[in-house]
């Protein structure tokens, strides 16, 4: 079974902390994505990466950065966490960039910034 694993299911951090959300996939997929999901707003793309060390901004990159040093791992970094970054964060990977079918999502990390 293909797997996308997010390191934490629940995380509570303080305002101003540096936060790392880790995502690992075992499918040798080129493409990896970070989304946040908020009530009434649905899934919004933060960053995606189509190759090692490559990254592109999604719709809402402000306040976030990413790192892809190895093909299987895509990290989302909150340099200085703020309360408006409290959200559910979902990682996904895929063979393609334009088809949701064929994506595999992680289980999500619910981040609370206090």
Among 15, 80, 82, 107, binds another protein (CB under 8 A): 107
Q: What binding mask, one character per residue, do residues 53-92 give for another protein by CB under 8 A, x or -?
A: -----------------------------------x-x-x
CA distances from 93 to 17, 50, 53, 106 (A): 27, 10, 15, 9
Tell me which DSSP letter residue 95 carries.
Answer: S
State the Rg of the chain over Cα.
13
Tell me which DSSP letter residue 101 carries.
Answer: B
Among 11, 27, 43, 60, binds another protein (CB under 8 A): 43
Positions touching another protein (CB under 8 A) are 9, 39-44, 48, 88, 90, 92, 97-103, 105-108, 110
């Amino acid at each position: 079974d293909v797997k996308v694993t997010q390191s934490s299911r629940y995380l509570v951090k303080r305002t101003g902390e540096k936060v790392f959300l880790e995502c690992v996939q075992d499918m040798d997929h080129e493409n990896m994505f970070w989304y946040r999901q908020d009530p009434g707003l649905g899934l919004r793309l933060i960053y995606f990466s189509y190759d090692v060390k490559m990254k592109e901004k999604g719709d809402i990159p402000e306040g976030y950065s990413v790192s892809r040093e190895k093909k299987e791992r895509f990290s989302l970094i909150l340099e200085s966490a703020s309360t408006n970054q409290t959200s559910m964060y979902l990682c996904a990977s895929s063979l393609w960039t334009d088809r949701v079918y064929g994506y595999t999502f992680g289980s999500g990390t619910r981040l609370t910034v206090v």
